[in-house]
Amino acid sequence: MTRKYFGTDGIRGLTNTAPMTPEVAMRVGQAAGTKFLRGSHKHRVLIGKDTRLSGYMIESALTAGFTSVGMDVVQVGPMPTPAVAMLTRSMRADLGVMVSASHNPFHDNGIKLFGPDGYKLSDADELEIEALIDTAPVLAAPAAIGRARRIDDAQGRYIHSAKSSFPDRLRLDGLRIVIDCAHGAAYKVAPMALWELGADVIPIGVDPDGFNVNAGIGSTHPEAMQERVVASGAHIGIALDGDADRLIVADENGALVDGDQLMALVVTDWAKKGKLKGGGLVATVMSNLGLERYLTGQGLTLERTNVGDRYVLEAMRARGFNVGGEQSGHIILRDYATTGDGLVAALQILSVLVTSGKPASELLHLFDPLPQLLKNVRFSGGAPLDTDGVKRVIAAGEARLNGTGRLLIRKSGTEPLIRVMAEGEDIGLVTEVVDEICAAVVAAG
């Protein structure tokens, strides 16, 4: 069934342009509220957001929608996406909502929905809500309209939950850490959690003004973090994105470490401790072949899924894995969270850093990645991947890489982009293949 509102990660778009308008947000609240009005108990939805200007508008519209069908609303203000998932469970809410466009710029926004178990909704649930969005809602009687209230201690609850993932016997004393919060949802909680564990914290990206979320900073723009690590003589740098469900790390030399290397470290550490479940990890088709070869050498497996942390999580739950994630830095540790959590993942990395006594540059580079190149091609409409010319060029590229690498072409689920990725042992060949396919897509568009 074709989706009208939901993409690969909730509903997302340019603010005040369909579908990210207050009208649609209110209808989403009414539709999701209607679906989750189950049982005779008093129903509750928890709403969090990041720091972008439009968050106030979308939060208010959602609140109007939920209360109009009889759901109480708990507003927690700016909080990381994983905090919303955790609080939804701990407060026994029927539904959790995160208002965020993740790593996108301030002018975009989005709506992510979590079920009462703290997991993102299934495709089937989202399709049911889609059908209800375009259906006239059954409004609550005047005496049954929901109430809305804001709670003030949500940040402390999440900090406590995140710190509980860190070994009780350890502290971060003597560790100098740069933490880049992207002027986003974790701008208070992440530096505070690290400080409470004893670290010498150097925070950047902690002055949100509604417009600067992810603007030249955070996990998608880690240059400021890298520079600060070197300039301050820090032991490690951590960059989160706007809703803090992903991270990228820099070692003490400012060299970047992506999600593949971070997952390799966690899996290796957990396997040694007997904590690992599933015999390996779940990652997407984007993860480097170097990671796969490293895991094979460790006697561990790599299960691949389509791109999207929701698909990683579905595979983890179905196959019994407790570690999974994406090269981009979404890392899911099911022992501690029901979704990607940048802070919790960072604490796992820091725990190994403390106990090993090794510098981050040695600890965080477990394998040599194969040369990999990803380019995005914007298109104005149509289906360029279905044209004969593009199909011929893709087939030729696959033949050239056969046995020495691999090719992945996909359409973005959130933007009008074709993503072209190739990796292999010969960077020259990889570059030629990617450039030829990108040129063919441009010509077709």
Which residues are marked as active site?
102
Orientation angle between helical segments 342-356 and 259-273, nearest 10 degrees: 60
Beta strands, E only, 306-371: 323-325, 331-333
Asked if omega into 222 is within 30° of 0 (cis), the reply is no
Cα separation, 26 vs 53, whole angstroms: 18
- Between CA 228 and CA 60, with CA 207 as vertex, the angle to 5 degrees is 145
| CA–CA dist 213, 209 (Å, integer) | 8
What order do you get walking across the sheet with 405-411 strand by strand? Answer: 372-378, 417-424, 405-411
Please report, for residues 12, 118, 353, the alpha-carbon distance to residue 311 in angstroms, rounded to integers and kept in the order given: 18, 15, 30
CA separation for the pair 345, 247 (Å, rounded): 8
The radius of gyration of the chain from alpha carbons, rounded to an integer in Å, stands at: 22
* Sole residue written with tokens 């049911």: 128
Residue tagged 């949100």 (tokens): 208
- Cβ contacts of residue 444 below 8 Å, gap of 6+? 382, 384, 387, 389, 390
The C-alpha atoms of residue 315 and residue 303 are separated, in whole angstroms, by 8
Q: Which residues contact 335 (CB under 8 A, 6 or more apart)?
A: 165, 275, 322
* DSSP three-state, residue 84: helix
Question: Which tokens belong to 246?
Answer: 């992903």
Do 150 and 209 form a contact (C-beta atoms < 8 A)?
no
The answer to whether 408 and 418 are in contact (CB under 8 A) is no
Check residue 166 and give left, alpha or beta (phi > 0: left; psi -120 to 50: alpha). Answer: beta
